[in-house]
Chain A
Amino acid sequence: AQSVTQPDARVTVSEGASLQLRCKYSYSGTPYLFWYVQYPRQGLQLLLKYYSGDPVVQGVNGFEAEFSKSNSSFHLRKASVHWSDSAVYFCVLSVASSGSWQLIFGSGTQLTVMP
């Protein structure tokens, strides 16, 4: 069965530090992968997506993610975080299922950026 694992429920980093949020997926076919961000009391917003091609995809606000088929991973990175990056980040796997798309959400990683 398909699944998405975000092993770190909470991550705390200092402002200006680099960031990596981990995501592992389980799926035998071609994965479509997404990272969404949820700011307090808001809906989820798309950060970036990977369909195929270059394994490093760029997103908004300086975020990027790297797809690794061999490691079944799609880790999110940022070179220098800002306090406004504090939010919950969700890794999402999309798979084709019976003519439609099935979306599998990770449990989310709460990021806190300390000033």
Chain B
Amino acid sequence: DMKVTQMPRYLIKRMGENVLLECGQDMSHETMYWYRQDPGLGLQLIYISYDVDSNSEGDIPKGYRVSRKKREHFSLILDSAKTNQTSVYFCASSLEGNTLYFGAGTRLSVL
């Protein structure tokens, strides 16, 4: 069964703390993505990874960084989280490059 798994599902952090969101996929997909979803703004692309250690900024990379050391894992890191980073974060992967498989999301609250 093809699956993208995100951990944790829910997270509460204080402003200034570091945040690690993890994503795994079992499909050996080369390309992986991090999006955030906010009411009224739809999905915004944060970072895209084309394979291990091959990452590119998306539309809103400021305040985020990523790590991909294994093809099946893609992490999103917030160094010193800010309240405006409260959002729902989605990880996705693709094989053909334009058909995406999404995880269930991580709901992050930064207080």
Interface, chain A (partner B; CB < 8 A): 32, 34, 36, 41-46, 49, 90, 94, 100-101, 103, 105-108
Stretch at the interface among B60-68, B69-77, B79-87, B93-101: B93-101
Question: Chain A at the B interface: mostly helix, strand, loop or mixed?
Answer: strand
Partner of B90, one of A32, A34, A43: A43
Is the Cβ of B99 less than 8 Å from the Cβ of A43?
A: no
Cβ of B24 < 8 Å from any Cβ of A? Answer: no
Interface bin, chain B:
20 to 34
Is the Cβ of A103 less than 8 Å from the Cβ of B102?
A: no
Is the Cβ of A103 less than 8 Å from the Cβ of B42?
A: no
With known contacts A42-B105, A43-B104, A101–B42 Cβ distance under 8 A: no
A106: which B residues are within 8 A, CB to CB? 42
A36: which B residues are within 8 A, CB to CB? 100, 102
Is the Cβ of A103 less than 8 Å from the Cβ of B98?
A: yes
